[in-house]
Amino acid sequence: MQERKATVSKRTTRRIGYGVAIAVNAAMLVIVNNILDWGWFGWLTEDLNDVIPLINLSLAASIVANAAYIANDSPVFKGVLELVVNTISLIVTIRLLQVFPFDFSEYSSVWETATRSILIVAIVGISVALLVELVKLIQIVVRVAEDAEEVFGRENPPAQQGDSS
């Protein structure tokens, strides 16, 4: 008797991933909004309160995007939402670098430099991700336009100069 392997479609696997992302982002919302009260990290300063609304916006945008992907994760739809989410993430990361709600004075000076460096690398990485998503969307739009032209042909060719009809 042969064993039947349960197969899960790629779409189902992606949906599970979106659900996990929603759960993780929801947990992060709880943590971010309570971390100062919990006193977990002595090196976080009250200045974090200046950035929390932006962090909440970023996490909420990610939750909404992942919920939307469960229903529709077509490349164009996902690409547009990724541009939005990545733009918000870029704004949050830049603001974190500006406010810098960290106090490493009780630790080695390496920590401040390392943290600033990580934030700068994150800004560069998010910027690259934005460019990649934009290029992918442009490629899709061009491909769709070419396919439409191939299927439907040119119904209204441009008028030639000197054509007085």
Q: Is position 3 within any domain?
A: no
Q: Is position 162 within any domain?
A: no
Q: Is position 165 within any domain?
A: no
What pTM was computed for the model?
A: 0.82
Terminal alpha carbon distance of the chain = 77
The answer to whether 17 touches 67, Cβ cutoff 8 Å, is no
The answer to whether 52 touches 33, Cβ cutoff 8 Å, is yes
Q: Is position 158 within any domain?
A: no
- What are residue 102's DSSP bridge partners? 44
Express each pLDDT in 22-73 by its tens digit: 999 999 999 999 999 999 999 999 999 999 999 999 999 999 999 999 999 9
Confidence check: pLDDT of 81 > 90 = yes
Split into its structural domains, the chain has a count of: 1
Q: Which domain holds residue 84?
A: 11-152
How far apart, in Å, are the Cα atoms of 71 and each of 22, 77, 136?
14, 11, 21
Q: 38: burial class by Cβ within 10 Å (0-12, 13-18, 19+)?
A: exposed
Q: Is position 99 within any domain?
A: yes
Q: Is position 38 within any domain?
A: yes
Q: How many residues does the chain have?
A: 165
Confidence of residue 157 (pLDDT cuts 50, 70, 90): low
Query: Residue 153 has what pLDDT?
Result: 72
